[in-house]
Structure 1
Amino acid sequence: MKECNYFVFVVSDSEDIDGNIISAKEILEYRISKLMWPLYRRTQNKSKLKVNDRCLFYLGGRKSNSQTIVGMSAVKSITPWLGHMRTIDHESILSEYPSTVLHLQAFEYFNRPVEVKSILDDLSFIPQNRVKWGTAFQGGVRKIKRHDFDIILKAGCR
């Protein structure tokens, strides 16, 4: 089997055209129903992603299941965004068009969401200043080590 990389994809609460807050969980569910994930012009680590890379999904924001990692998938294919393509997110959500689209393999929800705060001390990518741990999940896509992936996977499958 080919070597793969490990990533955490981050989704946050967003606003719709009427000013309502849409939860990160709702946005994730919508994207997962299509098995597609948008990458934007300034998304960190997008050039490092390749087919078969493993992905975890972190819900940011303040609504349902926020600050948890809820499931995993792998990259099936990567395509550039074409202007005639429909948007990945619900059309009422305010966002720019992506530059790249990831097509995902089957998505698997964890038995229970992993509360990141409960495993902070076990993860190598969390800053030393634990008060600012949320900065580790900025930028849309976070590359992580296999060791961190395994810790999160184990916590989610308990």
Structure 2
Amino acid sequence: MRDNIDTDYLVLISSDGKKNGYEIYKDRISENMWPIYHKTPQQNNIIKGKKVIFYIAGKDEYAQNFISSAQIDEIIENKHLVSDPNKEFSQIISFIKFKDHKIFKSPINIKNHINNLSFIDPDRRQIYGLYFQGGVCKINQQSYEYIINSSN
């Protein structure tokens, strides 16, 4: 996979667990507290000011869709061992707070746009799900702008 992307853009992924990925996303956004776990990839890239797109993985409601965008406003270190409210994991190391959260007018299904997303290697588009494992992935500016422009 292309891990050498130098970027100010990230995709935050919510997947099915004890609740479906969309419900988990809604819970996190309504509280403006997105957990980052001990083994979450891209921890060094999660910094204030980065722009993010939210993606729902899994198989349930809004699965395989980009659904909103925001900007990282604050990162709060988890000084107490707080469990994930969805009881999926227990090693939360920090929480992300956002500003400028915008829900897309219509969800953007990745399968309909994958050929225009340059952060996904053309030879690996059949297995694009690998790019969305771990909760956070990098995305280049071209792909970010394409998704944002597709949301209008």
For 1:49, the equivalent position in structure 2 comes to 46
Aligned partner letter, 1:112: S
Residue number among 145, 148, 151 corresponding to 1:150 in the alignment: 145
Instruction: Name the SS of the counterpart of 1:102 in structure 2.
Output: strand
Q: What SS is found at the alignment partner of 1:65? A: coil
Secondary structure of residue in 2 paired with 1:150 = helix
- Within the alignment, does 1:11 sit opposite 2:6 as a pair? no
The 3-state SS of whatever aligns with 1:13 is: coil
Deviation for aligned residue 1:93: 3.0
Q: Name the counterpart of 1:81.
A: 78
- Of the three residues 125, 136, 139, the one matched with 2:131 is 136
Q: Give the alignment's TM-score, normalised by structure 2.
A: 0.88
- What is the TM-score normalised by the length of structure 1? 0.85
**One-letter amino acid matched to 2:34:** W
1:114 positional shift: 0.5
RMSD: 1.6
CA contact (8 A) 1:35 1:107 kept: no
Structure 2 equivalent of residue 31 of structure 1: 28
Q: Assess if the C-alpha contact under 8 Å between 1:5 and 1:49 holds in 2.
A: no
Identity of aligned residues (%): 26
Q: Which runs of 4+ in 1 moved over 4 A?
A: none
Query: Secondary structure of the residue that 1:130 maps to in structure 2?
Result: helix
Compute the displacement of 1:74 (Å): 0.6
Consecutive unaligned residues of structure 2, counting only runs of 5 or more, are 1-6
1:132-153 CA deviation, whole Å, 9 max, x = no partner?
A: 1111111211111111100011
Do the aligned residues in 2 keep the contact of 1:68 with 1:114 (CA within 8 Å)? Answer: yes
Instruction: Name the structure 2 match of 1:99.
Output: 93
The answer to whether the 8 Å contact 1:76/1:105 transfers is: yes
- Write the distance in 1 (CA, Å) between the matches of 2:88 and 2:75: 23
Q: Give, as a single letter, the amino acid of the residue that structure 2 aligns with 1:99.
A: I
Structure 1, unpaired ranges of 5+:
16-21
Single out whichever of 100-109 and 22-31 deviates more from structure 2: 100-109
Displacement, 1:23? 0.7
Q: SS at 2:105's partner residue? A: strand
- Tell me which residue corresponds to 1:19: none
Q: Which deviations, in whole Å up to 9, do the C-alpha atoms of 1:30-49 show, x marking residues without a partner?
A: 00001111111111111112
Q: Between Structure 1 and Structure 2, how many residues are aligned?
A: 145
Tell me the distance in 1 between the aligned counterparts of 2:124 and 2:10: 22
Residue 129 of structure 1 deviates from its aligned partner by: 2.6
Deviations along 1:111-143, one digit per CA (max 9) or x if unpaired, are 000000111111112131322111111121111
